A and B are shown apart, each in its own frame.
Chain A
């Protein structure tokens, strides 16, 4: 290389000239991103597609949609448009498509508030108001309210919007462990005793079976720990965080105890092969015997693993002993959100409408075990269809504290940080109060960085 006799001075001269020229050339095109999407948008409506693209992150809705698209009611409602649905499509894939300006028309099970506040999805309020199918008064109040953010409507609530929190227990394992399964535990102290009784290790200390992963499933999110301990971690109106609350630290310590007993490494290892966040897979396998899940747990377990589901019972999600009379419950949004760059917004809206109809509701309930809070339809639901379901159906009037879940625009960010910091707590690497304060600090910094403050 050096034999070619190019001196360093020549090289620098050359590179300086080129860099300079390119800097000049680059200044114009750098502004391009803001202008190009507009052109794309203008071109889009010309094609007027007769398909509706619908993506969702769930993995088990597919069989229900396969049946729904075959019904005459659906075909008629959609006016002949065909539905292209794609399940198990994570938020990362969706975001890439949004970034590319090629999102689907409708989407479900994503970070609705986050997408909405960024302007990636549209306000559907006017469309919903004009609809003859969607009846506000027939939808549970909490569900309806969860569809709004700062006056805008995030999406058409549907598919599965019902009660989110309950302690589900495999009573067969409980009885084998010598526990009285006629009354399920209510406080964290009681649940911890059950957890200890149900946790079995082999002689080498390997985990064979355990009681509760208190950070699994619905309990994975800060919404849960804060509701259980009776504080509000995020105030939607003021945009203020209260994560450094002393009760947060208390919760981190108590919940961490469950994992210390079973072994943090064993837990992490199970999660790696049981799938992301497990969501019931470990319960089905008989490895995890208590799980904090929503009303869908009884039905999904029945459909996926009936031999385990027959022993499923549900009760109130745990609270600390000094709050033992608090019946906490959450509800929240699942919706068909419509994307700003969608080619067929009307079609996506019609799909959202169809999810309100008994035809769709029945198919989804039978195929997947899911419920949408449509009052008139709920009266027709057999609460004993799936073991454990009756708790949820009867719970409504006894709830003392309602939470509407996932309202923070940076919910995903906070979850990520919460996952890391709580792990530091149960691995005894940080003091719980320090972890709570750190979480508060990180949330505030991100809020600021995203320009939301």
Chain B
């Protein structure tokens, strides 16, 4: 069943040659079974995403027909452009990237690194108690503080801006502080001590010694923070109320409202799927190109997508 047991079994076969024939048959059957199950699961798991992408290429008759069309022929590639232009998605993409995801990601990284350094590399009293509190805040659901935070930001006049996302990112994020702190602890103390003897400041050590050695952890922070911002729906739903300011996640929901509510349903479904595909694509590509970083990030800290 597991790779470990497979290799163990191989050793044993050598020791008991009389059983080899039977075992290799059952082993082969077992393997086939594993592949069959995995392929079935794989197809099931990927199907919704396939359906999203393939429906994006259909026209209305191909959508509303029984039996369902699995492979659209002809494929309507112009749907992507048509759907994107049906609404101001360029502006929404700009908002998503430049007003929300990028600044928040960058600021979270910088602030979390500084805090993590304070928790990992400087010895001071109360440090571990505070770190414990920091971890505890990871469990605090955002919805619990949603209303008072809204009132605070409202009084600051920050509604319909991205300040409610950007400003808190200047104060670090518990998940990433935790992740970076754990990583910093693996960097030998001798390196920073040596730098201290050379007269480096703590900030200098963080910048010149720790940072170059922490690239894997930094990559995890960048990827996940970007992902969360890109996917965020509830936050913008509450804070952003003008069409010009909305990010992609809101824009597509609004497109659905517009397309379905007033009987203006022509091409609504293929266009919705086309935009969904375009919004999901950067995330999927990001994963494909940075797979190792993703997997390591999750394996060490259990970061949710």
Q: Which residues from chain A sit less than 8 Å from chain B, CB to CB?
A: 1, 4-6, 10-11, 14-15, 32-33, 36-37, 40, 58-60, 86, 88, 90, 93, 96-97, 99-102, 273-276, 279-281, 284-285, 300, 304-305
Contact = CB atoms under 8 A, between A and B. Distances in A.
Contacts of B150: 99
B124 to A, nearest CB: 12
A104 to B, nearest CB: 10
B233 interface: no
A101 B258 CA distance: 26
Contact of A60 (B131, B242, B262): B262
Given A33-B151, A96-B238, A100-B241, A276 B261 contact: yes
A93 to B, nearest CB: 5
Contacts, number: 88
Given A6-B132, A100-B160, A93 B263 contact: no
Nearest to A101: B154
Given A93-B241, A100-B241, A275 B129 contact: no
Nearest to A35: B155
B28 to A, nearest CB: 42
B260 interface: yes
Given A1-B132, A96-B238, A273 B260 contact: yes
Given A1-B135, A14-B126, A33-B151, A97 B241 contact: yes
A304 B154 CA distance: 41
B159 A88 contact: no
Interface of B: 126-129, 131-133, 135, 150-151, 154-155, 157, 159-160, 238, 241-243, 254, 257-258, 260-265, 269
Contacts of A281: 260-263, 265
Nearest to A275: B260
Contacts of B262: 58-60, 88, 275, 279, 281, 304
Given A97-B241, A100-B154, A102-B159, 4 more contacts: A14-B126, A33-B155, A36-B155, A59-B257
Contacts of A32: 155
A426 B128 CA distance: 59
Contacts of B254: 88
The 4 tightest CB contacts between A and B, nearest first, are: A100-B159, A275-B260, A4-B128, A59-B262
A14 B263 contact: no
A15 B133 contact: yes
Contacts of A305: 263
Contacts of B261: 59, 88, 275-276, 279, 281
A10 B129 contact: yes
A60 B254 CA distance: 14
A280 B263 contact: yes
Contacts of A40: 157
Given A36-B155, A96-B159, A101-B154, A59 B128 contact: no
Contacts of A36: 155
Q: Pick from A15, A100, A279 the residue with the most CB of B within 10 Å.
A: A100
B241 A96 contact: yes
A88 B258 contact: yes
Contact of A90 (B127, B257, B260): B257
Contacts of B155: 32-33, 36-37
A14 B127 CA distance: 11
Contacts of A6: 128-129, 132
Q: Pick from B128, B135, B160 the residue with the most CB of A within 10 Å.
A: B128
A276 B157 CA distance: 32
Q: Pick from A11, A33, A36, A96 the residue with the most CB of B within 10 Å.
A: A96
B167 to A, nearest CB: 16
Nearest to A60: B262
